[in-house]
């Protein structure tokens, strides 16, 4: 990334919901001049122009009209879009966290960029405290249930790596490698007790019935016992503060079983 401008000159367009949530949480919303329409908490950025993302961006003109000094995106991104952006005098930052530790590093990095280092560290401590409280409660659960988290149904893609950590915090255990294409046969062999659907960019519109209709899954404990649940996409797929709410919801699901 090119050297960022001083905070008082910053005009940030955030094409990554995680970056938007982090910046708002550390008190740096004032630097945002545009955000992606996929933001987890739309109310927090009401009034700001809503844009696409690094993959679904037909034209860079709507970004350039906002005169940003910094555009924040995430991997994957279209190289053609990035090349067009970098023809102009702005910086581009692409985040690509895999783990909760990576997410903390992103919080620190954004805190430095906007001059909110202390607020960034405070957010990290707050998230750790919340996760620790959930983990303490989950230790009381009788069984560590086997969980298959799904981020997309066709092709089937398991939930991102940080979700495996969130599942563990919440009292479960992910049964397939996270963030990878998986087959229906792999899921069947893993025999999950619980299936959690958090399909990207669908909110809470994932369809449990589709899981119940998979022929290869008819003998799965999760399917046989009707334990397929929907968690809002943003609460598990946004690598930032929304993960705390996602962990709470997962714990509520697991503690009832």
Percent of the chain topping pLDDT 90:
79
Identify whether residues 122 and 145 lie together within a single domain.
no
Which of 81, 103, 128 terminates a domain? The answer is 128
65 lies in a domain? yes
Read off the CATH number of the domain in which 72 is found.
Answer: 3.40.50.1980
Q: Sign of torsion, CA 150 169 95 70? A: positive
247 lies in a domain? yes
Identify whether residues 106 and 198 lie together within a single domain.
no
Identify whether residues 146 and 250 lie together within a single domain.
yes
Q: What is the mean pLDDT of the chain?
A: 92
Contact 251, 229 (CB under 8 A): no
Best CA proximity match to 76, nearest among 207, 154, 179, 216: 179
pLDDT at 40: 64
Identify whether residues 249 and 145 lie together within a single domain.
yes
Identify whether residues 166 and 251 lie together within a single domain.
yes
- pLDDT for 6 beyond 60: no
> What integer is the mean pLDDT of 225-233?
97
pLDDT at 77: 79
Separation of alpha carbons 4 and 63, rounded Å = 17
Identify whether residues 184 and 227 lie together within a single domain.
yes
Identify whether residues 113 and 166 lie together within a single domain.
no
Best CA proximity match to 57, nearest among 74, 40, 32, 33: 74
Separation of alpha carbons 113 and 10, rounded Å = 9
Separation of alpha carbons 222 and 136, rounded Å = 25
- pLDDT for 236 beyond 60: yes
> How many other β-carbons are positioned within 10 Å of the β-carbon of residue 257?
16
Identify whether residues 119 and 161 lie together within a single domain.
no
- pLDDT for 139 beyond 60: yes
> What integer is the mean pLDDT of 16-34?
95
Going by their DSSP bridges, the two strands 91-95 and 50-51 should be labelled as: unpaired
Identify whether residues 121 and 145 lie together within a single domain.
no
153 lies in a domain? yes
2 lies in a domain? no
Contact 75, 94 (CB under 8 A): yes
Under the banding of pLDDT at 50, 70 and 90, the label for residue 115 is very high
Number of domains in the chain: 2
Identify whether residues 100 and 162 lie together within a single domain.
no
159 lies in a domain? yes
pLDDT at 43: 61
| Tens-digit pLDDT profile for residues 31-73 | 999 999 887 665 678 789 999 877 766 678 899 999 999 999 9
Q: What is the pTM of this model?
A: 0.92
- pLDDT for 2 beyond 50: no
Percent of the chain topping pLDDT 70:
94
| Tens-digit pLDDT profile for residues 207-221 | 999 999 999 999 999
Which of 81, 104, 128 terminates a domain? The answer is 128
> What integer is the mean pLDDT of 10-26?
95
Contact 241, 123 (CB under 8 A): yes
Lowest-confidence region among 27-31, 40-44, 116-120 = 40-44
Q: Give residue for tokens 């990290």.
A: 124
Identify whether residues 41 and 152 lie together within a single domain.
no
133 lies in a domain? no
Whole domain around residue 60: which residue ranges? 7-128
Identify whether residues 233 and 155 lie together within a single domain.
yes
Under the banding of pLDDT at 50, 70 and 90, the label for residue 4 is very low
């Amino acid at each position: 990334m090119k050297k960022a401008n001083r905070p008082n000159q910053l005009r940030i367009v955030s094409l990554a919901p995680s970056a938007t949530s982090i910046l708002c949480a550390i008190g740096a919303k004032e630097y945002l001049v545009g955000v992606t329409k996929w933001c987890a908490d739309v109310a927090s950025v009401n009034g700001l122009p809503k844009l696409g993302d690094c993959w679904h961006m037909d034209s860079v003109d709507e970004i350039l009209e906002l005169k940003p000094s910094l555009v924040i995106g995430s991997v994957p991104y279209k190289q053609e879009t990035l090349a067009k952006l970098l023809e102009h005098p702005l910086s581009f930052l692409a985040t690509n966290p895999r783990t909760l530790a990576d997410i903390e590093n992103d919080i620190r990095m954004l805190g430095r960029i906007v001059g909110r280092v202390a607020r960034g560290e405070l957010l990290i401590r707050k998230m750790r405290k919340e996760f620790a409280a959930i983990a303490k409660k989950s230790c009381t659960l009788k069984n560590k249930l086997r969980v298959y988290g799904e981020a997309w149904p066709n092709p089937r893609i398991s939930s991102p790596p940080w979700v495996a950590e969130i599942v563990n915090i919440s009292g479960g255990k992910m049964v397939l490698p996270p963030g990878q294409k998986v087959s229906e046969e792999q899921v069947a062999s893993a025999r999950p007790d619980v299936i959690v659907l958090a399909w990207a960019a669908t909110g809470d519109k994932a369809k449990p019935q589709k899981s119940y209709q998979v022929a290869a899954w008819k003998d799965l404990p999760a399917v046989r016992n009707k334990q397929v649940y929907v968690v809002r996409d943003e609460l598990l797929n946004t690598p930032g503060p929304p993960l705390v709410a996602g962990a709470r919801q997962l714990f509520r699901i697991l503690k009832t079983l």
